[in-house]
Structure 1
């Protein structure tokens, strides 16, 4: 039997070792992509959002960039899940209850959800002219029916967004936002969108905005709160963060996921916003001071 040349054997071992290292690295990379689980089985990335080192500027993410820039809440079905309201008509100005279910691709009612930002379900309601913003947290019955008190103060077509992370039987987590229209019959008099401004008064405080969103780029936007005497009131944690930001696109009311930094940045609330394209957007900032949750609203023009 012929003996293999020693040089050939060494070359084969080196190549084989490199291939094995690449395969192991690929496998470990896929394992690490899932992230460590925090309390409640939620990935740390889902809790802390989109974190970056201090000083990071506008940038893009090649892996999954299209998904990051895609607006949500445009359909009642997405990713194998469907938002099913049990009633969609409300009397303007009258207290009522919104009840709905989330169903999977087999039309089964989903009952397992991850807790993200202290709640398993975040419900955003706004009129189609982007007025009347409400951030609600429904409760779920044992059969998977969600319910929450809701008053639509003015006639018109309203949009309700269910923002949640579903847990499949095999443990997979699917974060998505589904949207559905609600109707408040009556004469609809839409209000024009306020002009862009870098500061707005809220309950005797001034909230200032800083940032320059660009289509397709992930850009830091920050908000600073000051009192009438120029001092900075103490910001309190609300739903596990110093602030929560919802961004909606004028026209189709596309819902943008905006990720907060877990800590204040130089005393300001900082978020990372990826605008899918040019247009006007309405930003809704929820923050807490003095034990009370307040909301500041901004119009932002993306060119």
Structure 2
């Protein structure tokens, strides 16, 4: 075979190999090192690394799903009745003015100092411009976390969080030890139920007075009690739902109020129960230590508020 013929055959062979490679590449797709089409990537915050906001407990973010909690100011002077204002902004940066009612209110504001020594559950008033205002007891200096729990009209429930600083001498407190009974204004509230991290767990808080069960609790926020749960390590806000409602024909007015609580991880949590009796709302506070259950163990998981290894 002459030289030109050899080169022609070689070129034809290369073309055939290249054609096969193209077909295989189209079938298999790009190699791991090849950049993907930019049009397939989500834009904006959703494209960032880390867990999706939908996987996080509430209150850890100031902005989520296009909504933002905007305080008038991040710093206020201490006082017994400090006027605090804020807005919920939508994705366009405009104040939200239409909400879905939840537990008898358009918005619930939870205020707690970061050492959880000062807790308030209040319901601000909204003006026509979409600004919420409320007087808060900020007589104790420190850093506070504000949680706005709301449902925008046509949307899903959200809890956004923002920090508010109150300057002065900060008398930080140690988290109280876990216990299953606390006293408040002559009432005793006991807590019972096993909490397993990552699972919906039933807890019951029972109210008594002078050693007798209270069976005439009054409705508060559409239930016989309202429970807020915060993770001590980072103040993650947990969604807690009461079982039943007043007037449904099956939910008693005490002494026990049962809730479904999901603790995402092991660790210490602080529970705040608001209940109403004889026209006054009181708050019972508990520290709960949640530990990971051992499926191979023969002993039951620790009771809520119990030190590991301790029984009733």
What interval of TM-score do these two structures reach, taking the shorter chain for normalisation?
A: 0.7 to 0.9
1:297 counterpart = 2:285: yes
Note the C-alpha offset of 1:109.
1.3
- Aligned equivalent of 1:183: 165
The correspondence of residues 144-223 of structure 1 with structure 2, limited to 5 A, is 144-167=130-153, 172-223=154-205
CA distance 1:190–1:70, change in 2 (3 Å)? same
Alpha-carbon distance between aligned partners in 2 of 1:89 and 1:67, rounded to the nearest angstrom: 27
The correspondence for 2:210, drawn from 224, 228, 249, is 228
Task: Give the conservation status (yes or no) of the 8 Å contact 1:155–1:186.
Answer: yes
| Alignment match of 2:97 (pick from 105, 111, 123) | 111
Q: CA deviation at 1:267?
A: 4.1
1:72 aligns with 2:58: yes
Does residue 240 (structure 1) correspond to residue 222 (structure 2)? The answer is: yes
Q: Is the 8 A contact 1:109 1:143 kept in 2?
A: yes
In structure 2, how many angstroms separate the alpha carbons of the residues matched to 1:120 and 1:279?
32
Return the offset for 1:70.
3.7
Task: Give unmatched runs, 5+ long, in structure 1.
Answer: 1-65
Give, in whole Å, the separation in 2 of the partners of 1:67 and 1:76: 11
Preserved CA contact (<8 Å) 1:69 1:274: no
Runs of 4+ in 1 over 4 A off after TM superposition: 66-69
1:118-163 per-residue CA deviation (whole Å, 9 max, x = no partner) reads 1101000000001110000011111101111112121110000000
Residue number in structure 2 paired with 1:260:
242
Secondary structure at the counterpart of residue 166 of structure 1: coil
Within the alignment, does 1:134 sit opposite 2:120 as a pair?
yes
CA-CA distance at 1:94 after TM superposition: 4.0
Q: Match for residue 85 of structure 1?
A: 71
Decide which structure has the larger Cα Rg and report it: 2
Deviation at 1:187, TM superposition (A): 2.1
Report Cα offsets for 1:43-101 as digits up to 9, x if no partner. xxxxxxxxxxxxxxxxxxxxxxx999741101110111000011222222342211011
* Root-mean-square deviation over aligned CA pairs: 1.7
Q: Distance in 1 between matches of 2:280 and 2:173?
A: 28
SS at match of 2:101: coil
Residue of structure 2 in register with 1:250 after alignment: 232
Q: Distance in 2 between matches of 1:115 and 1:124?
A: 16
Structure 2 gap ranges (5+): 1-51, 246-250, 292-312
Task: Evaluate the alpha carbon distance shift between residue 234 and residue 91 of structure 1 in structure 2; reply closer, same or farther with a 3 A threshold.
Answer: same
- Partner of residue 280 from structure 1, selected from 256, 268, 278: 268
- How far did residue 229 of structure 1 move? 3.5
Normalising by structure 1, what TM-score? 0.74
